[in-house]
Amino acid sequence: MSRFWTDKIASLDPYVPGEQPQDKKYIKLNTNESPYSPSSKALEAMAFEVSERLRLYPDPNCATLKNALAKNYQLDANQVFVGNGSDEVLALAFMGYFAGGKPLAFADITYSFYKVYAGLYSIEPKLIPLNDDFDIIPADYENLDVSGVVITNPNAPTGKALPLADIEAILKSNPDVVVLVDEAYVDFGAQSAVSLINQYPNLLVVQTLSKSRALAGIRVGYALGHTDLIEGLERLKNSFNSYPIDRVALAGATAAVEDEAYLKEICEKTIATREKSFKDLEALGFNIIPSATNFVFATHPDKDAEQIYLNLKEQGILVRFFGSNKPRIGNYLRITIGTDEEMAALTAALKTL
């Protein structure tokens, strides 16, 4: 431990991201990236910024992107906040809305970054168990004495989605705290809570361009909600880094958001491949949780997940293994849906085990 570290730094248990090995070219099915290229309109917009405009600061207000998102979701631009990946948006929301002394409620199996942010801002997690089928039970979230609630819909790494009525019940029974719905994977088949924003001033929906829009590399995420919640995030952002989105990312993100047809096309492809992969993996003896995302969460009753993970890696295919010490999910693998060819390679590799 460095002698310059504060107790705060020493106490952190940082997030371990999925591996991004550089030693050879893998079929990457481990970090839920899209296997498709981003919208060609986004690529053109980014190329233009690179060739003509890099000497200029970006718009700190990200107006073009906010307008495009507002139009898409039929909201006002002041109901939109944008940040450097949804991870940054989540961090600001945790700092601003959940560091209020009381614990923060979220599922015991969910995106592991929430625990990290909670640690960073000294927020005590109130972990709410999933049921035996890995479902969130809305009744467990009724009238909580907490600083806020985070619901991941669809959940990760399980892939399961909650119906909108359940999200609404959670919003209704916790009217005095912010309910953050992390919809990183919503475009792959779940119901978005965006339609509830004008009814529930405590709802903050967080989405990303990293998954369904195939732009993980530019790091753009956003929050949608009541103008008061958005203004709060803006105040935090401006006190921290008033230029969170670089000029290239801003141009690419705006063009990608405007290209709805391409979004639809690649989501439909991913969903079709997911359904086929589901059957192929089941035929190989895996148990798979129904998924509304661009990944599946799978376990094999007779095989060790870590061994499968290591063996696939040797064969040049990366999937996500969270560790055999993880309660309930220690023998599971999270497999991102790649192209049909990549998934065929996965099935072929699994047959050799």
Tokens of 111: 């995106």
Q: Smaller CB distance to ligand PMP: residue 148 or 300?
A: 148
Contact residue for ligand PMP among 38, 96, 221, 232 (CB under 6 A): 221
Residues 284-303 that bind ligand PMP (CB under 6 A): none
Residue closer to ligand PMP, measured from CB, 207 or 273: 207
Beta carbons of 252 and 22 less than 8 angstroms apart: no
**Tokens 């990312």, residue?**
249
Query: Could you give the CA distance from residue 81 to residue 206 in angstroms, rounded to a whole number?
Result: 9
Residue nearer to ligand PMP on the CB measure, 104 or 184: 184
Which position among 86, 153, 254, 273 is part of the footprint of ligand PMP (CB under 6 A)? 86
* Interface positions, 188-217, toward ligand PMP (CB under 6 A): 208, 210, 216
Kindly state the smallest distance separating residue 149's Cβ from ligand PMP, in Å: 15
Question: Rounded to an integer, what distance in angstroms lies between the CA atom of residue 279 and that of residue 286?
Answer: 9
DSSP-derived letter for residue 111 is -
Selected from 168, 182, 187, 342, the binder of ligand PMP by CB under 6 A is 182
Where would I find the beta strands (DSSP E) of the chain?
27-29, 80-83, 104-107, 125-128, 148-152, 178-182, 203-208, 221-225, 287-288, 295-299, 317-321, 332-336
Report the distance separating Cα 60 and Cα 63, nearest Å.
8
Residue whose structure tokens are 């625990």: 115
Between 13 and 145, CB nearer to ligand PMP: 13
Work out how close the CB of 219 gets to ligand PMP at its nearest, in angstroms, rounded to a whole number.
Answer: 6
Residue 33 engages ligand PMP in binding (rule: CB under 6 A): no
Residue 249 CB coordination number (10 Å): 25
Q: Which of 107, 156, 204, 248 binds ligand PMP (CB under 6 A)?
A: 156
Does 184 engage in binding with ligand PMP (CB under 6 A)?
Answer: yes
- C-beta of 68: minimal distance to ligand PMP in Å? 17
Q: Which CB atom, from 208 or from 291, has the smaller least distance to ligand PMP?
A: 208
In angstroms, the CA 16 to CA 296 distance is 20
CB nearer ligand PMP, residue 209 or residue 251 = 209
Where in 231-290 is the site for ligand PMP (CB under 6 A)? Answer: none
Phi, psi of 288 (to 5 degrees): -125, 140
Residue type at 342?
E
Pick from 60, 56, 89, 117: nearest CA to 238:
60
User: For residue 16, what are the contacts with CB-CB under 8 A and spacing of at least 6?
Assistant: none
Is 85 among the residues that bind ligand PMP (CB under 6 A)? yes
Cβ distance to ligand PMP smaller for residue 96 or 157? 157
- Judged by CB under 6 A, the chain residues 87 through 146 that form the site for ligand PMP are 87, 111
- Which of the stretches 60-68, 81-89, 133-141, 197-205 binds ligand PMP when contact is defined by CB under 6 A? 81-89
Instruction: Give 282-288's long-range contacts (Cβ < 8 A, gap of 24+).
Output: 284/347, 284/350, 284/351
Q: CA-to-CA distance for 99 and 147, rounded, in angstroms?
A: 7
Which one, 172 or 326, has the nearer CB to ligand PMP?
A: 326
Stretch that binds ligand PMP, among 48-56, 61-69, 82-90, 116-124 (CB under 6 A): 82-90
- Site residues, ligand PMP (CB under 6 A): 85-87, 111, 152, 156, 182, 184, 208, 210, 216, 221
